[in-house]
Structure 1
Amino acid sequence: MRAADIMTTSVISASPDMSVRQAAGTMVFAGISGMPVIDEDGRLLGIVTEGDLMHRAEIGTGVRHRAWWLELVASTRELAGQYVKEHARKVRDVMSTDVTTVTEMCPVADIAELLERRRIKRVPVTRDGKVVGVVSRANLIRALVTMAPEMPAAAENGDHAIRADVLAAMEGQPWALAPENVIVESGTVHLWGPVVSAEEGNAVRVAAENVPGVNEVVTHFGFPAAVPPLG
């Protein structure tokens, strides 16, 4: 699955000369937390988000007082930039220009990693420098609802095939169970043996639950006894 498969193509955008108040109203009424800023030719100039509008003089959320030591270490450039963010009337002065973009062919997995790494909620999709869509976290969640099967498909070769698939699902993982600790009967997977932690037990269980044909997973785990403190 790629960006083109899940992106929103009816993109709500701002112009650089849009007023800050109008931009805020557009986001509120559209139910979005950010939008790309596009010029007359459809080329991406930046992005304006709720974060860019958080500190505003009109509503008294500007940075009015700084600790004295922050005033000392802050450069004139930083202080001037903060003043512009708080008082500017046009989107061009408050938007973020360091914008990450993706192409229509970008895999969805790469987009999810990008959003998490950059701690952003959306990314514009561009073609030849022009915005053709936006992929947001909401788009990824909708893709999950649409594409993920609710229940695994039935296995064709019965319990033997299910057991082999469960072992294959755990193969190479440091928390994998030994083959003799996996027993399958009538589509029910029984998992035996000691595990180091509840997290490892959950990982084993989830690996088995995702195997096609599994009806139920029953765990028979033992956890190591806690070592009493010395003294």
Structure 2
Amino acid sequence: MDNATARSVMTSEVVVIPPDARILKIAALMRQHRISAVPVVDKGGALVGIVTEADLMRRLAVMAEKPPSWFASLFADPSEEADRFARSHGFVAEEIMTTELVTVSLETPVAEIAALLEQRHIRRVLVVKAGRLCGIVSRADLLRVLDEPRNDAADASDERIRLAVIAAMRREHWAYSPYTSISVEDGVVTFHGFSQDRAVQRGLRVLAGCIPGVKGVVDKTTLMPPEMLYQAL
């Protein structure tokens, strides 16, 4: 996963629609292909928007909405209200689609894509090159990367693994402690000594498990006594 990019994980065979595609057709395409979003491209092949399940749900939800009060309408932004009305009452893709697109390049690292999905609270990003759609990277695509077996450094020596764990601990301010030692035998990392609290114990187990070549993690640390914890702080 460390060297994976959008190019290597994206879905390249993407269902697309023209700006004049009608809502019923869009909904049918989503059901047929079991997808939750459809990019919109113009006649020249340029990406202009995307219609998601949320856009279609907005179209349905408006039926249950009550009109704003006369007083509230005095303070409403006419431009925003017009855009909202068009998107919730439109009949074709270009009227309801999302145009503020989140895109990445073919060489964007998978880690950056995952962070982007998390930060923007979205389910997918569009992969583009020179304004043209190349593919889509969804949360499901990233999960498939996590499922891939880790072959790198599978035969790493115990000493190499121990040094890698120590280096990883030094990079995390919460992890490194003179009261915690590490041993490695047959690829199994064992923590000895004391740790600050249970959150640190859990974090150390995860940290060691991320090191290539590690076959297991054993935690034999105990929580620091109050007097030792005070000295450590």
Normalising by the smaller structure, the TM-score range is 0.7 to 0.9
**Structure 1, unaligned stretches of length 5 or more?**
227-231
Partner residue, 2:52: 49
Partner residue, 2:229: none
1:13 matched to 2:12? The reply is no
For 1:24-35, what aligned pairs fall within 5 Å after superposition? 24-35=27-38
Partner residue, 1:172: 171
Instruction: Give the match's secondary structure for 1:109.
Output: helix
Cα deviation, residue 71, structure 1? 4.6
1:155 matched to 2:156? The reply is yes
1:97 matched to 2:99? The reply is yes
For 1:134-153, what aligned pairs fall within 5 Å after superposition? 134-146=136-148, 148-149=149-150, 153=154
Contact 1:177 1:204 survives alignment (8 Å): no
Contact 1:62 1:86 survives alignment (8 Å): no
Instruction: Give the match's secondary structure for 2:80.
Output: helix
Q: In 2, distance between residues paired with 1:223 and 1:68?
A: 63
**What do the CA deviations read for 1:92-111 (whole angstroms, capped 9, x no partner)?**
10001111222212222221
Cα deviation, residue 183, structure 1? 3.0
Contact 2:191 2:218 survives alignment (8 Å): yes
Contact 1:152 1:211 survives alignment (8 Å): no
Change (3 A) 1:69 1:111: farther
Partner residue, 1:84: 86
Question: Which is worse superposed, 26-35 or 73-82?
Answer: 73-82
Question: Which is worse superposed, 87-96 or 101-110?
Answer: 101-110
Instruction: Give the match's secondary structure for 1:18.
Output: coil
Q: In 2, distance between residues paired with 1:150 and 1:71?
A: 62
Contact 1:177 1:193 survives alignment (8 Å): no
Partner residue, 2:111: 109
RMSD: 2.7
Question: Which is worse superposed, 214-223 or 87-96?
Answer: 214-223
Question: Which is worse superposed, 41-50 or 122-131?
Answer: 122-131
TM-score normalised by structure 2 residue count: 0.82
Question: Which is worse superposed, 122-131 or 36-45?
Answer: 122-131
Contact 2:9 2:145 survives alignment (8 Å): yes
Amino acid at match of 1:204: L
Change (3 A) 1:210 1:121: closer
Q: In 2, distance between residues paired with 1:9 and 1:24?
A: 21
Q: In 1, distance between residues paired with 2:58 and 2:14?
A: 26
TM-score normalised by structure 1 residue count: 0.82
> How many equivalent residue pairs?
222
Q: In 2, distance between residues paired with 1:123 and 1:99?
A: 8
